[in-house]
Structure 1
Amino acid sequence: MVAFYSSALDGVAANPALPTPLLLRLIAFDGGGHGPPFQALHRPGLPESAVAAVLTHPVLDTRVQFAMSSQADAGQRARLADDPSPMVRAAVAGGPEWTHDHRRKVRPLPDAVCGRLLEDPEPSVRSALLGSRHLAPSFLASLVRHPDPAARRAALRVWDELTADGRAALLDDPDPEVRRSAALCACPHDAQLTAALLRDPAALTEALRRGLLDHADAGRFLAEGVHLVELAGNRSLPADLVDRLAVDPDDDVRLAVSLRPELTEARRAAIHFTVAPHARSDVDWVAAGIADQDVLHRAATSAHPLLRRAAARSPHLPPDLLRLLAEDTDVLVHTHLAVYHPDTPEEVLMSVYARLGGTFSAWMATGHPRFPREGLAARYADHPDGIYRQLAVRDPAAGPALIERLSHDPDVWTRQAATRDPRLPLPRLLEALTLPELASSAGANPALPPSEMAAVMDQAGVPA
């Protein structure tokens, strides 16, 4: 695996100990027309003086980067909603594309700000807003009678939270696509709507998957042998037709039947299906009941690997089910526990860490609240695998001599981890600043003296 190298200036831009005067100096940098390093703009808790400098920065990309920062407060990002550049306004409207920690939700922009962005004269801004993953349900619900059909379609994302009048308005919308989408939202409880959607080629597949089917329509599609996977997953499918699909020649159809929520474990086990080693674990009824203890118990105790994988994605697993899944032999169950559950046992975290390696494991080691720290130096400092030697740096008992030794490790990821550690002796830290593969890590080390941070800026041509 090739390590990612970047400059000492990038490291300094991310350094949590960077003094505010140097931060302001860095943010003012035009970077040859590219602006300051993005690490300076994606820092958590930027002081007001730095935010003010970003908001008026002459380099367009600087304002775009800050508008998309998951570390910035929604109120700070909202101050760019009236930026003269539509690119910046679109970045504000769309919001962060990724977060450092998937468990942390991005706070939505205030509804009033979203309302202004939705009336923006630039179509790209309006489109970015309506496509954003970070809109408040209250704002989406307010779009039911908006003059733009695209906005009314966005309101469908919170169908279950709309009033009866709001739903009725969308079902009777003048735009055929809005009406179709609203009908698909309502059809799980409406056989008449489902029957109409089955006559619409654009809605047929989704209506078969989730609509309220009568026996005649379901039997007709089964007899025709089309869309059987969708049919097999439909919650309203009559029991006799479920039995017929359970022995269908198509393995995908039998697999879809095997995931049905009403099946007993004995009935599920009687179906012959195949689960690929890395098959996706998206099971609708488990995802919908991600905090429902009965749903989680049924899925976690099932012999079906896809149900156990789906249950392992819940951060709401109670201790007994967490222990049960921690003993599971399915590696994806362990992976999901490591990603989603804050109380995943140490042995599971360590097994996932060793198996996946790379940037994912680096995130898990630094970001998971239960990932171990104590005793790692004694256990792993001399391990033959570099991915384990990196862990020795996490141990609070590791001394400066060990950290320095690991900064010379044959594995570049281990060298970089040790170089970021504030226990690294200063002479080695300064040496690392001059080495291409360690310069960024050295720049990010909180123990780097401010005078050396300033020297890095001098060398990079950042004006004083």
Structure 2
Amino acid sequence: MPARHVGLRGGTLSADITRARLRGLARNPALPAESLLRLAGDERIDRWDLTARAEWTDETFDALAAHPGPEIREALAQSAGATGRQRARLVGDLSIRVLHAVVEGPPSRWADPLPEWAYRRLAEHPEPVVRDMLTFVPGVPREVVALLARDPHRGIASAAQALLDRKPFEPTSMGRDEAVHFASALSPWNRAQAAADPELPAEQVAALARDPSPQVRLAVSMRPELTERQRTAIDYHIGPEDEVPVLDWVLAAGPAELEACARSAHAGLRRSAARHPGLPARLIAVLAADPDPAVRLLLCENQAAVPVDLLVRTYREAGPVTAGDLPRHPAFPRTDLARHASDPDWRARVLVRFDPTAPAGLIDRLSRDEHPSVRAGMADDPRLTTARVLELLADPATTGSAAANPGLPRPLMDRILAGEPV
């Protein structure tokens, strides 16, 4: 059975509450670097918990960057809260897995990019496997790719030159013969791969459009040569929560084709159109009014020029778990959010946390909200008094967020680290 501790109020402290507090403590900006290093050796939290803070001081980042465990440094290299300049300090790391994480970067679309000098240094790395990584990830400056095209390793030079010559997001094929072979496979996954292949003959495409597998029919319905009428004739389904592949041919679409995709009745095409790197303002406005919530979320996650009100509305609709990265968006508002404090939708009330002009009294009021997610959303706010932070720390629904509050007294941080009841 998990260990339990007697708390100061006579209750019990479960292992889950202890872990929640440790995870919150890892995000606490007031936690000293030496305490964060202590957490790095605690098996009750994982490395992603350890590196989940919203921002890093140079001292704290450097302390964890010197950790002997490569898995810790790997997670640090992908921390969305670290600046590109901070993550670039790991380009001299001796671990290949850490360097791969540096090249790959954080999963957040709006994370700070690496400086160009970091890419150049990686392109000059003595290990070919490191230089080769740069030919597989997006975002590498074209000048660095051109440098790799002159690499002494023939495979790296060839791959880099192919990137220079290739049109952006150019669809690739497994080859006609292989696609035909896959089209007759027993596994639906194989048939779905064939259904999306640009070299699959028309007669096989027509047969797969009637395939018993919904996955296969969906793949056929998103082929570029189909008309709207042909797509509609296929029995496919996309629900709000269903994942669909990103369509390279849509990402590479020119103006007329992109317009057709953005206005298509097919949600899969519209979802890919929302991610198009050259989406014009006219089509951003079209997709901002899309009935599919996934289209609107993808639009906010990928387009810098989305309307401010769409960002707020999408955050409200999706909630802080699904739309948690939107506050990093460069257009996400930092004022006028306090007006949501009395909104009947709890997801709107959570937005008040991001308004630096919201008075401390309002944050305190919302920390007592009927909905636990609103209380948790306020619990790490530095505008709360120490007394209120301690009350929230005692509440299982808010204890993790309260542990992330910079106003948490240092002695309590030490007791949480030591596994003692507080």
* TM-score interval (norm. to shorter): 0.5 to 0.7
Distance 1:37 1:275, change over 3 A: closer
Deviation at 1:102, TM superposition (A): 2.1
1:288 aligns with one of 229, 252, 262: 252
Distance 1:387 1:96, change over 3 A: farther
CA contact under 8 A between 1:27 and 1:36: conserved in structure 2? Answer: no
Distance 1:15 1:336, change over 3 A: same
- Match of 1:324, SS state, is helix
Unaligned 5+ runs, structure 1: 82-87, 120-124, 147-151, 164-184, 199-203, 210-220, 222-226
* Alpha-carbon distance between aligned partners in 1 of 2:375 and 2:72, rounded to the nearest angstrom: 31
Q: How many correspondences in the alignment?
A: 380
TM value normalised by structure 2: 0.68
TM value normalised by structure 1: 0.63
* Alpha-carbon distance between aligned partners in 2 of 1:281 and 1:425, rounded to the nearest angstrom: 47
Matching residue of 2:109: 102
- Match of 2:244, SS state, is coil
- AA partner of residue 329 (structure 2): H
1:368 equivalenced with 2:329 (yes/no): yes
* Alpha-carbon distance between aligned partners in 1 of 2:62 and 2:232, rounded to the nearest angstrom: 65
Root-mean-square deviation over aligned CA pairs: 4.8
2:404 aligns with one of 438, 441, 444: 444
Unaligned 5+ runs, structure 2: 1-15, 185-189
Distance 1:111 1:206, change over 3 A: farther
- AA partner of residue 342 (structure 1): A
1:389 aligns with one of 336, 340, 349: 349
Report Cα offsets for 1:150-190 as digits up to 9, x if no partner. Answer: xx389647624269xxxxxxxxxxxxxxxxxxxxx9997xx
- Match of 2:236, SS state, is coil
Deviation at 1:456, TM superposition (A): 3.2
1:14 aligns with one of 15, 27, 41: 27
Distance 1:103 1:268, change over 3 A: farther
Matching residue of 2:4: none
Report Cα offsets for 1:286-335 as digits up to 9, x if no partner. Answer: 0233xx43332121123333222221223532222122222222333223
- AA partner of residue 97 (structure 2): A
Deviation at 1:4, TM superposition (A): 8.8
Deviation at 1:56, TM superposition (A): 4.4
Report Cα offsets for 1:120-160 as digits up to 9, x if no partner. Answer: xxxxx8799589747944576456845xxxxx389647624
* Alpha-carbon distance between aligned partners in 2 of 1:247 and 1:24, rounded to the nearest angstrom: 58
- Match of 1:316, SS state, is coil
Report Cα offsets for 1:337-392 as digits up to 9, x if no partner. Answer: 2322233345544554344335123433x233444565544444252x43333223
CA contact under 8 A between 1:259 and 1:307: conserved in structure 2? Answer: yes
Distance 1:354 1:161, change over 3 A: same
* Alpha-carbon distance between aligned partners in 1 of 2:196 and 2:23, rounded to the nearest angstrom: 50
Once the two structures are aligned, what percentage of the paired residues are identical?
A: 27
Matching residue of 2:8: none
Matches for 1:117-266 after TM superposition, within 5 Å: 118=127, 133=137, 136=140, 137-138=145-146, 141=149, 145-146=153-154, 152=155, 156=159, 159-161=162-164, 198=177, 204-205=178-179, 235=198, 241=202, 245=206, 249-250=210-211, 258-263=221-226, 265=228
Matching residue of 1:26: 35
Deviation at 1:78, TM superposition (A): 1.9
Matching residue of 2:415: 459
Matching residue of 1:304: 266
CA contact under 8 A between 2:390 and 2:402: conserved in structure 1? Answer: yes
Matching residue of 1:356: 318
Deviation at 1:414, TM superposition (A): 1.0
- Match of 2:300, SS state, is helix
Matching residue of 1:180: none
Larger Rg computed on CA atoms:
1
CA contact under 8 A between 1:233 and 1:260: conserved in structure 2? Answer: yes
CA contact under 8 A between 1:346 and 1:370: conserved in structure 2? Answer: yes
CA contact under 8 A between 2:209 and 2:220: conserved in structure 1? Answer: no
1:402 equivalenced with 2:354 (yes/no): no
